[in-house]
Each structure stands twice: as C-alpha cells, then as structure tokens.
Amino acid sequence: MSSSLGSRIREARLQYGMSQAELARRIGISKNAMNDLEQGKTEDPRLSHIVAIADQLRLSVDALIGRKDAAHA
C-alpha cells in the first residue's frame, strides 16, 4: 500500500469500489472533509473517523494507518 494515510484510504476505497461521497456519507462527514483526509490536508484526523473508515472498507485500523507489525508495537 501507499505511504500516507490519505493515499491508503483512497487506494482501499477505490479497491472497494466506493466513491468519496459515499464513504463520507457512511461515516458522517462531508465530502470536502473526506477529500481533505485523502489529500493529507487534515493534520490530525479523529480516531473515530479512522475507525469508521476502516470498518466501512473492511480493513483493520493498523492496516489503514500503515502499521506493518502491529503485534510488536
């Protein structure tokens, strides 16, 4: 997967076949906020948003945030 959180969200969202607008709607944020997340413009995204995105895209939070070895963290 890509290196930044935003690019991992985008890549996973596209693999899942979901639009930005649909993912934003499902987690309760605006499309602009979702775009900002994917573009890396949100410096400190809420954990609740990250968890919701991971749930919607059926990923672990560790995979979404790029942790390679969560067992040893």
Tell me: the pLDDT tens digits for 5-30? 999 999 999 999 999 999 999 999 99
How confident is the model at residue 73, as a pLDDT?
A: 43
Q: Which residue has the tokens 């930005």?
A: 20
Residue 32 lies in a domain: yes
How confident is the model at residue 3, as a pLDDT?
A: 81
Are 4 and 40 contacting, i.e. CB atoms less than 8 angstroms apart? yes
Residue 72 lies in a domain: no
Are 42 and 9 contacting, i.e. CB atoms less than 8 angstroms apart? no
| Structural domain for 45, as ranges | 5-67
Residue 52 lies in a domain: yes
Tell me: the pLDDT tens digits for 38-59? 999 998 999 999 999 999 999 9
Residue 11 has which token pair?
A: 């890549």
Number of structural domains (the chain) is 1
Q: Which residue has the tokens 């410096």?
A: 43
The domain that holds 17 is classified in CATH as: 1.10.260.40
Find the mean pLDDT for residues 53-66: 95
Using alpha carbons, select from 18, 42, 68 the residue that is nearest to residue 53.
Answer: 18
How confident is the model at residue 69, as a pLDDT?
A: 58
Residue 59 has which token pair?
A: 């990923």
Residue 73 lies in a domain: no
Are 65 and 55 contacting, i.e. CB atoms less than 8 angstroms apart? no
